[in-house]
Amino acid sequence: MNPYDLLIAPFTEFEFMRRALAGVFALALGAGPLGAFLMLRRMSLTGDAMAHAILPGAAIGFLFAGLNLYAMTAGGLVAGLVVAIGAGVVARATGMKEDASLAAFYLISLALGVLIVSLKGSNVDLLHVLFGTVLGIDDATLILIASITTLTLVTLAFIWRPLVLECVDPTFLASVSRTGGISHIAFLSLVVMNLVGGFHALGTLLSVGLMMLPAATARFFVRDLTALVMLATFIAFVAGAIGLLVSYHLGTPSGPSIILVAGLAYAGAVIFGPIGGLASRVMPRRHLEA
C-alpha cells in the first residue's frame, strides 16, 4: 500500500471520514487549551468525573427522544453543570473537599445514567452513548461541535489572564481582582460543553481523553504555557487523524482508536520526553557549563 492510499485516500474517497476528521479537529481545538489548564490546575481527574457526570442527562434526553442530537446535548449540558456547580456548592457550604463532593456527585450521576439507558435502550444504544460514533457524525453534530469550539476559544480569550493567575498565584489574583470565581465557573462550564460536544464523537467515557492525554504528553516537551497549549492541540489533531486512519484500515472502533493513539504518544513522552522523561533520568546527558 502506497502512502497516498494509507494516509490520504480514506479522506478523499469517503465523506464520513472527512466529517469525522473535521469533527475531531474541531474538538481538538477546544480540548488542547482546556486539557492544559485542567492539568495545570491539578484537575485532571475532575475532567474524568465530569465526563461521567453528563451521562444521566444524555440518557434522559435519549429516553425522551431516542438518539436525538439536541435532546441528548441539552440533557448532558444540564447534568454536567448541575454536578459541577452542585459539587462546588456542597464543598463550600459544608467544608468537604471539592474532589470528594465531586466524586459523590459523579458516581451517583453515572449510576443513574446507566440505569436510565438500560431501562429503555438496547446494549447497542448504551454503547453509542458510552463510546460515541465518530464515523457517524452528521452535519448537525459537526455544526454543534464547531459552535462549542468557537464559544470555547472566545470565552478562553476573556478568562485567560485570571485563569493563569489563579493557577500560579491565587492569592495575588484575589488581591487585585474578583474575577477568580467567575473565571473558574466559566472554565468548568467550558469543560462540560466540550465533553458534551465530544461525547457524540467519542462517547462520554472517552471524550475527556482528547483533553488530558495530549496535554499530559506536551508537558514532557515544553516549559511555556503558550507552547504547551499549542503542542497539546497539535497532538490532539495528530491523534485524531491517525486514530481515524487506524480505525479505517484495521476496522477498529474509531473513538477508542483515537484515544489509544493519544495514549501511545503519552507513553512515548513518558519514556523519551526531554523534560522529566524516564530516558533523560536513566541516561542523563553531559551537564552544561552554566
Interacting stretch for another protein, rule CB under 8 A, among 1-9, 171-179, 261-269, 280-288? Answer: 171-179
* Among 150, 158, 252, 267, contact with another protein (rule: CB under 8 A): 158
162 or 198: whose CB is closer to another protein? 162
**Angle at which helices 55-65 and 98-120 cross, to 10°:** 20
Question: Which single residue is written with the C-alpha cell 484515544?
Answer: 259
33 or 121: whose CB is closer to another protein? 33
146 or 215: whose CB is closer to another protein? 215
Give CA–CA dist 1/67, Å, rounded. Answer: 38
20 or 173: whose CB is closer to another protein? 173
197 contacts 27 by C-beta, under 8 angstroms: yes
Interacting stretch for another protein, rule CB under 8 A, among 7-15, 77-85, 114-122, 172-180? Answer: 172-180
- Number of residues this chain uses to bind another protein (CB under 8 A): 24
Smallest distance from the beta carbon of 83 to another protein, in angstroms?
Answer: 26
Residues 174-233 that bind another protein (CB under 8 A): 174-177, 179, 222-225, 227-228
Q: Is 38 in the site for another protein (CB under 8 A)?
A: no
Contact letters for another protein, residues 106-145 (x by CB under 8 A): ----------------------------------------
* Among 20, 38, 40, 195, contact with another protein (rule: CB under 8 A): 40
* Among 66, 170, 181, 268, contact with another protein (rule: CB under 8 A): 170
54 or 236: whose CB is closer to another protein? 236
Smallest distance from the beta carbon of 225 to another protein, in angstroms?
Answer: 5
Closest CA to 36 of 191, 250, 259, 196: 191
Smallest distance from the beta carbon of 49 to another protein, in angstroms?
Answer: 22
Q: Kindly list the residues in this chain that would bind another protein in the complex (CB under 8 A).
A: 40, 158-159, 161-162, 164-165, 167-172, 174-177, 179, 222-225, 227-228
